[in-house]
Amino acid sequence: MEKLNRLNSIGAKDLGSLALPEFCPRCFWFERHFGPFPMRFLGIFSVIDSVSKKSVSRSFFQRKKLPDWLNIPDVKEVLSVEDVGKVEAYQNRKYLIILHKESGLILKGTPDGIFKLNDGTIHIVDFKTARYTQKQNELHPLYEIQLNSYALLAHKFPVSKLSLVYCEPNSELENDIDFNLKFSSTIVPVELNTKAVLDLLKRAKEIIDQKNPPSARPDCRGTCFYINKIYPDN
């Protein structure tokens, strides 16, 4: 398979952005051709997600069960990405990859949790360090595509369930001396619908292949908004 780059590959979450009502094809075109506009992100959420994944693996290794905060029934085994599909390393990270022949795009992604169930199917989850609110519900179309992308990527096993796991920090500390912050979780099922992923891969390819950037979404405040500020005649 050819080397991954922005024009021939797309991540599961990036593909999910096409499902959002505020998706802007012009922003998407610029980001695929030139990279995203530089922005600041809070790295602590990535750290917490990583700790969540390690907690799950450690608990199952030591106790043969998931940690108490993750109430997913019938789990027989915690699987790695190598167990479920084709893996490539890219920028010091392992990704599941698959070639979508119709569009020519390589879909890539790394699920947070892959659980083999007693019936031989797998349950894929993605951790979100956030409270489950109406705002999170507005992002559900993106997350649906993200998780269904993982279902396509994990092609060695039948996928029976997809879930979002919202990890919310408890507001009270156990004592006033030690900073010992604990979390509670809300598990939100996601409908299994891989056809939606295939449709969006074709749409993504159509936008990428345009010689010139398409029209912006009205009132867009994304990448193309900032480009217009810098290059008003662009």
pLDDT for residue 224 is more than 90: no
**Which pLDDT score, from 0 to 100, does residue 2 have?**
61
Residue 173 has what pLDDT? 52
pLDDT at 168 (0 to 100): 78
| Domains of the chain, first to last | 9-230 (3.90.320)
**Cα–Cα distance between 149 and 107 in angstroms, integer?**
8
pLDDT tens by residue, 128-143: 887 777 667 788 999 9
Average model confidence (pLDDT) across the chain: 87
pLDDT interval class at 185 (50, 70, 90) = confident
Q: Is the pLDDT of residue 104 over 90?
A: yes
Residue 27 scores a pLDDT above 90: yes
Segment 188-205 shows an average pLDDT of 97
% of the chain exceeding 70 in pLDDT: 85
Q: Is the pLDDT of residue 48 over 80?
A: no
d(CA 5, CA 63): 41
Please state, in angstroms and rounded to a whole number, the distance separating the CA atoms of residues 144 and 37: 25
Is 150 within 8 Å of 164 (Cβ atoms)?
A: no
Lowest mean pLDDT among 7-21, 45-59, 183-197, 205-219: 45-59
Q: Is the pLDDT of residue 226 over 90?
A: no
Say how far apart CA 70 and CA 58 lie, in whole Å.
13
Q: How confident is the model over 114-172, as pLDDT tens digits?
A: 999 999 999 999 998 877 776 677 889 999 999 999 999 999 999 999 999 988 776 66
Q: What is the mean pLDDT of residues 103-124?
A: 97
Nearest CA among 171, 165, 204, 172 for reference residue 186:
165
Asked if the model's pLDDT at residue 42 lies above 60, the reply is no
pLDDT band at 221 (very low <50, low <70, confident <90, very high): confident
